[in-house]
Amino acid sequence: MNMLSDIQDMPASPAMVISPTADTLQSRLKPIGSVSRIFSDEILSGFRAWPIWTVMAWDDIRQRYRRSLLGPFWITLSMGIFILLLGVIYSRLFHSDIRFYIPYLSAGFTVWGFISQTTNESSMAFSEGQRIIKQIKLPYLTYVLRVVWRNFIVFLHTVVIFIPVAIIFRVTPNFATLLVVPGLLLVCVNVTWAATILAVLSTRYRDMPPIVATVVQIMMFASPIMWPVSSLGDDTMVAELNPIYHLIQLVRAPMLGTVPELLSWLIGGGMAVVGCSIAAALLVSKARRIVFWL
């Protein structure tokens, strides 16, 4: 962990800023052979390098909350206050029973926080790791998984809020609650392929990060996160056509003790298959160019 901190905190020399090191350039420019070879080097090796990106993610969390009294639990505290205030106000606006609305909000907003924060930070996945990229040859997927794992750690801190909420508002766990695990796994898969695509495009086109941030902000209000689907009445098509709704519902519904609809599983699984294929193809095709875009 100290070695990773030293690499990330290393002052950038002029040569480092202008171009990658000679060894890194040579490793990137040598004949790369077949597509299957690139896929193995960039995708499969990225997952196999889990000790590296997990340590990097933990180091990011440690550096972010260095010398903080509560550390990452500041996220838990701020999220809890936000949900409490928003729950009291919005339950009145939507004429919803507060006993239903606050569990609904806390479950949905914590999942949305994981999705939105990972999406925003993925735009800078390669940029924030450029000093390492220009010195050490690691699979590019390593830097994407670093962002995903880092925000998953944050999610684990925020989802703790749901425990007292469930106790206070008597949300009883049942067999449907076990579906949280496959639902969350499917969310992680979809978040990972989306983060990979955004990381590549944002490295090539520097206008992407502000565009992504704007779209994420719009999606927060356009998706049934703070407002319940029941408030739409019979016109639920707005929610059913929204893929974010289905991803959140895969985790939120089991947390509330209900089984997600089959449509949500089909959309979540379909997006995972199609998205992973597109992300893998994009990363493999642009693997030799990313280092020059930094």
Crossing angle of helices 180-204 and 243-255, in 10° steps, is: 150
Q: How confident is the model at residue 16, as a pLDDT?
A: 38
Burial, 284: exposed, middle or buried (Cβ in 10 Å; 0-12, 13-18, 19+)?
Answer: buried
Structure token pair of residue 85: 């205030």
What is the average per-residue pLDDT within 70-78?
Answer: 73
Top-confidence residue, 284 or 16 = 284
Does residue 215 surpass a pLDDT of 80?
yes
Read off the pLDDT of residues 58-68 as tens digits, 9 standing for 90 and up: 888 888 777 66
Report the pLDDT value the prediction gives residue 3, as an integer from 0 to 100: 47
Flag whether pLDDT at 255 surpasses 90.
yes
Q: Measured between alpha carbons, how far is 69 from 133 in angstroms, rounded to an integer?
A: 33
Tokens coding 229: 């689907």
Return the minimum-mean-pLDDT range out of 26-30, 38-42, 125-129, 268-272. Answer: 26-30
**How many residues comprise the chain?**
294
Mean pLDDT calculated for residue range 275-289: 89
pLDDT at residue 216 above 80?
yes
pLDDT of residue 232: 66
Q: Which two tokens stand for residue 250?
A: 């895969």
Map tokens 């801190």 to a residue.
157
Q: What is the pLDDT of residues 126-163, one digit of tens each?
A: 988 888 888 888 889 999 999 999 999 989 888 888 88
Q: What is the mean pLDDT of the chain?
A: 82
Q: What is the pTM of this model?
A: 0.83
Please compute the mean of the pLDDT values over residues 13-39 and round it to a whole number.
51
